[in-house]
């Protein structure tokens, strides 16, 4: 059985607002193996750590810049310069209004003094912590909606690779995984841009509209074989790994992990949440134990770094 990597999903986002330096520092202190950075671009070409190209549901942008929404009513990171973004406050994720948090029991929505983080900010902090602690915690950046960024005048993949190289992340052996939902872009990163980094093909559902990629095709035997030609692993949605029969309460594998492993692909599913359990599980500990024992996953994304580290360490101590 592998010892799966614990990947801090947007930092310790179960406890502090996502993608804030505070959330990343907390996840680091809780023992994460890797910290995730979703990367988008500002109007002046700065690389911003933000889960979406939108600012709407995590900041006070509507109050600070009420006239800067696009015709669709949304506020886009790409429409603001870094000094403007630095003036915003980040909050726990909410829906439509700060009074409707997505996760009601997490950090109180609309409170705190958290700010926008650049990729440089975060890489500098991680480098500093690795030096001061003697650890080697890795990074797990995602190139967010690269086709959309190009339509809006910016080559995000090229800029991310340039920044990573500046901080010494260039070799396959470096503690970094670079992920993307867009298969065409990952192929470009590998073949056209010549990256030697470990690449992870994220797998979503076609209905989500993450990219022009056909995820149903990628989940097929032929699709996985194609992925293995340019990537080192897959990042599947947890519901793509197993089936749950509510009538019998039986959980069974879809075979995706085994098929990926047969092709030399690592498997890092998302997202393990203590407050949003997958069907058929009564606790996050049960989820981690089942997927580790039955699926032999190589890592997992979690909002609750401490709980993930605790269960992984316990499982390792129980090995004969």
Straight-line distance from the first to the last Cα atom of the chain, in angstroms, rounded to the nearest whole number: 11
Strands 47-49 and 34-41 turn out to be antiparallel
Residue of 9, 19, 149, 268 marked catalytic: 9
Please give the C-alpha separations between residue 94 and each of 31, 55, 84, 115, 184, in angstroms, as whole numbers.
Answer: 27, 11, 21, 16, 32
Residue of 19, 51, 149, 268 marked catalytic: 51
Q: Which residue has the tokens 């997490």?
A: 106
Q: Point out which residues pair with 7 in neighbouring strands.
A: 34, 301
Is 9 marked active-site? yes
Exposed / middle / buried, residue 44 (Cβ in 10 Å: 0-12, 13-18, 19+)? exposed
* DSSP of 245-310: ETTTTEEEE-SHHHHHHHTT-EE--B-B-TTSPPTT-SSHHHHHHHIIIII--SEEEES-HHHHHH
Reply yes or no: is the peptide bond before residue 271 cis, omega within 30 of 0.
Answer: yes
Task: Report the catalytic residues.
Answer: 9, 51
């Amino acid at each position: 059985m592998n010892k799966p990597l614990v990947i801090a999903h947007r930092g310790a986002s179960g406890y502090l607002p996502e993608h804030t330096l505070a959330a990343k520092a907390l996840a680091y202190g809780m023992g994460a193996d890797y910290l995730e950075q979703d990367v988008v671009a500002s109007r002046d070409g700065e690389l911003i750590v933000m889960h979406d190209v939108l600012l709407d549901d995590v900041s006070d942008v509507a109050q600070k810049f009420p006239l800067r929404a696009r015709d669709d009513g949304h506020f886009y990171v790409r429409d603001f310069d870094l000094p403007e973004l630095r003036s915003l406050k980040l909050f726990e994720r909410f829906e439509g209004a700060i009074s409707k948090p997505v996760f009601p029991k997490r950090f109180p929505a609309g409170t705190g003094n958290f700010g926008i983080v650049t990729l440089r900010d975060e890489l500098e902090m991680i480098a500093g912590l690795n030096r001061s602690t003697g650890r080697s915690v890795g990074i797990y950046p995602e190139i967010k909606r690269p086709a959309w960024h190009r339509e809006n005048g910016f080559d995000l993949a090229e800029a991310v690779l340039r920044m990573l190289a500046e901080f010494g992340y260039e070799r396959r052996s470096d503690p970094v995984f670079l992920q993307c939902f867009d298969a065409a872009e990952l192929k470009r990163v590998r073949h056209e841009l010549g990256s030697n980094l470990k690449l992870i093909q994220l797998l979503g559902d076609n209905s989500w509209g993450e990219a022009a990629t056909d995820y149903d095709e990628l989940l097929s035997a032929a699709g996985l074989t194609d992925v293995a030609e340019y990537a080192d692993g897959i990042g599947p949605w947890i519901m793509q790994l197993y089936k749950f029969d509510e009538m019998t309460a039986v959980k069974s594998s879809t075979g995706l992990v085994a098929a990926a492993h047969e092709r030399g692909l690592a498997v890092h599913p998302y997202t393990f949440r203590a407050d949003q359990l997958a069907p058929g599980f009564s606790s996050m500990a049960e989820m981690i134990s089942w997927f580790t024992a039955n699926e032999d996953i190589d890592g997992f994304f979690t909002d609750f770094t401490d709980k993930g580290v605790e269960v992984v360490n316990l499982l390792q101590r129980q090995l004969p």
